[in-house]
Structure 1
Amino acid sequence: MKTSKAVKRNHIFSIVLITSTFLLGVDRLLDRAAWAVPFNPPSGGAPKGRGGASRGDAVCSPDPETFIQRFTALAPSDSNYGLTVSQRPTLFAYIPPTSAQKAFFTIKEENGRVHHQMMLSIASKGGILRINLPQSAPPLKLGQRYQWGIALLCKGKLRPDSPFVSSWVQRVELPTSLTGKISPSASMEQVALYGANGIWYDMLATLAELKQQQPNNSGLQSRWSELLSSVGLGAIAQETPDL
């Protein structure tokens, strides 16, 4: 009788263990699905013949070739262009290790007229630089495309051949489908909503804000890396924003 009871207990334990393992696996799958942040690129892009990144020859780095390959604006690589619903969007660029201490930022209207410009401090160790447009900068106009870029000041000077990278941004109206769904507090739901509607810069900025709030959250780092890799920025996908 004791042997029969022991077998029964073991059988019940096995069922509980298998069920628990199965449910844990389902929870992980559901959790991963909830964390998914696919980006749906919008139609259009940078003006033909005027988009893309360009780099100068005066590279202030001990490894010029690698520097030139990795110095980039954080925008989908196939279009070099992204949307925003913000009047003063947050922009990002990856700068490899460099001896430069300053960078010159400029944002221009499509006709070439300067919209705003300013100096930025950069870290010698390199990394993803977060560029916040100040309140003193004029708001971006709805429907208008702007080219923004940064040039490094090698040896403290801005030269015609200074390392330079640029991208494009366009401000659009917040889609009516998102009205009432976007709150001041960053969340993964907002990241997903921006991504589904092709709003690149706000999606990236919101995810970066979450990473700042939860620096030890490995899940957020995975989502960040996956997002960058999905738009052709896999070479810098493991880099973390300098906030």
Structure 2
Amino acid sequence: MGATLSTHPTLAWFVPDAIIKPMEFRLYEYDAQGKPQPVGQPIQLQSSPGIMRLSLAREQLKLTVGKTYLWQVVILCDPDSPSSDLIVRSDIQVVETPLAFAQQLAQVNTGSEKVELYAGAGFWYDAMGEALQLAPPWQLGEVAASLLRDLVNLEPDETRPEIYTAELELIENTRSILRATDSRKERQK
């Protein structure tokens, strides 16, 4: 589960397909029994190949410190067959900003320093949000790609090394796809 200090974090996901489809972003808060309950209305989006991101704007949805949420993005592939929808989901926990961390954060000057600080403290959502600000739209960028690599390397599963290797290959394949997508977009300009 990822942690964030922000009540309006930036969330990101990868869309490999160049075909534009309607999408929905959905947010759920876990109740006392651990069951996800919807928060607000789904946010309507359109898919776009590459890294998509959504920053929870203050007027849309606000998360609460101390709560755990489930967020998901649904690509609506066929309106007549919801079972064909593609779903990406993840949990996010909003935590209180430790005083010492806030003091450290106030002393950094660059986005890459913020990324390092957030990642070093385990605030991966905040680190990724900062890293994506350093990248061009729809691209992962070197800082975010490095961050993903670090995250995968953080806790390799020694009992199932093929999963660990597959995760690294997925990151490298994703980077290749993004580079190809970036090249196509540049040629179209």
- Asked whether the equivalents of residues 99 and 154 of structure 1 are also in contact (C-alpha less than 8 Å), the reply is no
Aligned residue-pair number? 154
Matches within 5 A, 1:39-188: 81-110=1-30, 111-116=35-40, 117-123=42-48, 126-155=49-78, 159-182=82-105, 187-188=111-112
In structure 1, the residue matched to 2:113 is 189
In structure 1, the residue matched to 2:163 is none
Mind listing any 5+ residue stretches in structure 2 that lack a counterpart? 153-166, 183-189
Greater shift, 182-191 or 82-91, is seen at 182-191
What letter matches 1:115 in structure 2? V
- State the shift of 1:155 in Å: 4.2
- State the shift of 1:120 in Å: 1.1
Mind listing any 5+ residue stretches in structure 1 that lack a counterpart? 1-80
Q: For each residue in 1:131-184, what CA deviation from the matched residue of structure 2 results, as whole angstroms up to 9, or x when unmatched?
A: 121222332111111011111111456714411111000101112122234359
Q: For each residue in 1:46-82, what CA deviation from the matched residue of structure 2 results, as whole angstroms up to 9, or x when unmatched?
A: xxxxxxxxxxxxxxxxxxxxxxxxxxxxxxxxxxx21
Greater shift, 169-178 or 222-231, is seen at 222-231
Share of identical aligned residues, percent? 26
The separation in 2 between residues aligned to 1:161 and 1:91, in whole angstroms, is 23
TM-score when normalising by structure 2: 0.70
- Asked whether the equivalents of residues 90 and 130 of structure 1 are also in contact (C-alpha less than 8 Å), the reply is yes
- Which of the two has higher C-alpha Rg? 1
- State the shift of 1:109 in Å: 0.7
- Asked whether the equivalents of residues 100 and 155 of structure 1 are also in contact (C-alpha less than 8 Å), the reply is no
TM-score when normalising by structure 1: 0.56
The separation in 2 between residues aligned to 1:212 and 1:97, in whole angstroms, is 19
In structure 2, the residue matched to 1:205 is 129
* Structure with greater helix share of residues: 2
The separation in 1 between residues aligned to 2:59 and 2:124, in whole angstroms, is 23
Matches within 5 A, 1:6-45: none
The separation in 1 between residues aligned to 2:47 and 2:71, in whole angstroms, is 17
| Closer, same or farther: CA 106–129 of 1 in aligned 2, 3 Å | same
